[in-house]
Structure formats: C-alpha cells, structure tokens
A = this chain, B = another copy of it.
C-alpha cells in the first residue's frame, strides 16, 4: 500500500459516509419546516435506517408511524413506530398486509397532520397492494409474461402501476387530507421520481392507454378484472406533496470531490450518470489517466494533483463464468490499461459495499497491479475474458472490502492522480 492508495480509500469512505441513509435524511430534514402533527411512513430496503434518522431529529414530534422493510432489515424497535418486514424482490402477503395497515393509518389523516414519507429502493416489491379485483398472483403472472416476452423495464412499470392501489402516485391520493413531504434515497441513475419504488407519491407519467397497448403488443393473458383495473387512470398531478431527493449518486460524487479537495487534489466531477459497459469504461479511464499523468499538453491537460470523479452504474455482459462484479471488472480492465503508469490510482466501488456475488465492494488498481497479477501466476486478460475479476484483483491485493454499508446510491469511479 502507498500513500496515494490510502488517500483514495479515505475519499471512498468519506463519500459513502455522506450518503448513508442517516446522513442523507438529516440533510433533507434540515430543509423542511413542519407545521403540524407528524406521521411517518418509511418504505424500502433502507426504511429502518431512514426512520431511525428521522426519529433522532424529530423525536416525539412524530406521533405515529409505520416502517416497512425487507426481511432481516429491521434493526430493532423504534419507539412509537410499527415495524413490518416483507418480500423482496417479489412482493408477498406480508407486503399486502403491511401496505394495508399503512393505508388504514393515512386514511385517518386530516389537514392538521403532515406525512413524512421516506422512500428507498426495493419499495416497489415491499409496498404493494393490488387494485380491487386484482390479486398478487395476477401481478406476478403478468410480470412473468412481460419478462419472458422481452418487455422493457419501462413497459413493465407502466403495467405494474396501473394494477396497483399505491404505485404511480396513488398512495398520495389516499392521504388527501394531509400535506406530504417525501424524502427519496435514490438508487436509480438520473433520479426518475416516478420509477423509484414505483413513485407512490409522484405523478405518473404513464397512461392507461399506453398500458393497454403494451398488453396487446405482447399478447398478455389476463383476467377481465385486471383489464378493467388497467383502464383506470393513475394520478397525473399531485398537489399536496413535496419531494426531495437525497443520498443520490450525485451527492456521492460531490462528497468524494469535497474529500479529495480536503486532501489537496483538485476535484472534477466528469459525470454522475455513467451506464456503459464496465470494461470499456475501465479502458477509457485508463486512457484518461495516461493523459493526466503524462501531461502531454501542459496548457490543456487537467492539472495534477487531481481527482477525476465519475458516478453511475456500469453494466457487464457476461462471456465467462468467473466471479466478479461490475466495479471489479472495470478495475481489472483499467489495470490492463495503465501498466507501469506511475503516480495514479483508479478505483471503482459500489456504494452498497457489495459488487456482484462477491465479498468485495469493488477494486482499486495502480500501474503495478498488472505486474502483481502476473507475479501471482494470473493472466489478467484471460481473467477479464472469463469475467473473473474477483480472483485477479484478489491476487494483486486490489480488492476494496467495506462490508455492507447500509446505503445504495450506485457506484463511484475515480482517477486519483498525485
């Protein structure tokens, strides 16, 4: 390990700390002036952490509330709040039961109440109650048909929203009497508020007409009652709700930039919406690192010491059957591209602390990584072809291990140039 690697790790740790649900919720709450009695609803994989953070700030001003999260994601009791756990990634009867309890609670709200609605990823499965006449199995069968026939994620969401009593803005409609403040922990690039947790309190941009077209396009088999449900339009405007996005990949990048600046690097955020193939982004970052290190064009090259920061979520198209994840694959491709380059460290890390089905969060490579792999008897190109980045980076001691972080706001990529 050298000083530059240590600094890169510090930056990563600070960036992730800044987007933990606790920090993110506190930051968002600072911008809200509650006037009435506060009722809390928290849904998603980070629901417990978000609710605990809100309780730490608002204390007994929260009169009652319900937390709905994934199995094994509750971390104990929260005074005055009911906690439910349910199925993910597929909704189950506990999803429906807990959602029913939430609807019952918010059905009693009046104009004297304000709802604090905390939303995180996974909410689509956890927070679900089908429309009258539609069953959970209907939804699962229709989704399965859409998947097998190659429908896009947007098409699937359009159908799902129209079959649900809470998705696509319909939850907000249940809370008519009260003002709603929604705090969204974003796990989708670009923060599409209608898509995160299927947008329970956000106006739906999809229409019944579109949903019906999708049914006919893919020749979906469904009951008369489901067809009737799809014909009912979702809300296109919601008056009583304000939405704040927090803990997004954008904040992850910004926090990394600030941490880099504190350590003396000039930070440049080049993108917060990278979605390209992991290995190609890796080779592109390598090519950018060469330019910056070698400073070929003194007046036009970004000045060292610097941190070039990118956020997003790359993809991997599998060719082999090795072990790895998108961040590790990116790092391995980068290691191949920066052989013998000095004074630079490049890393890619998942903010949730888990990259693919591995114990690592990502990888951090330098100009000697390639050689270290070779010395350990590993052929880096072969490992890349096999999608076996985990074993390559393990051999060169280039894995980043953080353990589960408790947040999920996509990935951070960084070229740190000394």
Contacts and interface: CB of A to CB of B under 8 A. Distances in A.
Given A276-B280, A277-B277, A280-B277, A271 B288 contact: yes
Nearest to A266: B300
A73 B273 CA distance: 46
Contacts of A296: 250, 269, 272
A283 interface: yes
Interface in A324-353: none
A301 interface: yes
B290 A253 contact: no
Given A280-B276, A300-B309, A287 B269 contact: no
Nearest to A307: B300
A281 B276 CA distance: 8
Q: Is the interface of A mostly helix, strand, loop or mixed?
A: mixed
B297 A273 contact: no
Nearest to A272: B291
Given A280-B277, A281-B280, A271 B291 contact: yes
B270 A291 contact: yes
Interface string A381-408: 0000000000000000000000000000
A277 B277 CA distance: 9
Query: Chain copies in the assembly?
Result: 2
Contacts of A257: 297, 299-300
A299 B301 CA distance: 19
Interface string A240-272: 000000000010011001000000000111111
Contacts of A310: 287
Interface residues on A, range: 20 to 34
A143 B267 CA distance: 48
A300 B268 contact: yes
Interface string A284-325: 100110110000110111100000011010000000000000
A291 B312 contact: no
Most buried by B among A267, A273, A281: A273
Contact of A271 (B253, B271, B274, B290): B290
B287 A253 contact: no
A275 interface: yes
A268 B296 CA distance: 12
A273 B300 contact: no
Contact of A269 (B269, B275, B301): B301
A339 to B, nearest CB: 12
A380 to B, nearest CB: 14
A291 B269 contact: yes
A50 to B, nearest CB: 23
Contact of A276 (B268, B270, B275, B283): B283
B290 A273 contact: yes
Contacts of A254: 297, 300
23 contacts: A250-B297, A253-B300, A254-B300, A267-B300, A269-B291, A269-B296, A269-B301, A270-B288, A271-B284, A271-B290, A272-B291, A273-B287, A273-B290, A273-B291, A274-B287, A275-B287, A276-B280, A277-B277, A277-B280, A280-B281, A281-B284, A287-B310, A300-B309
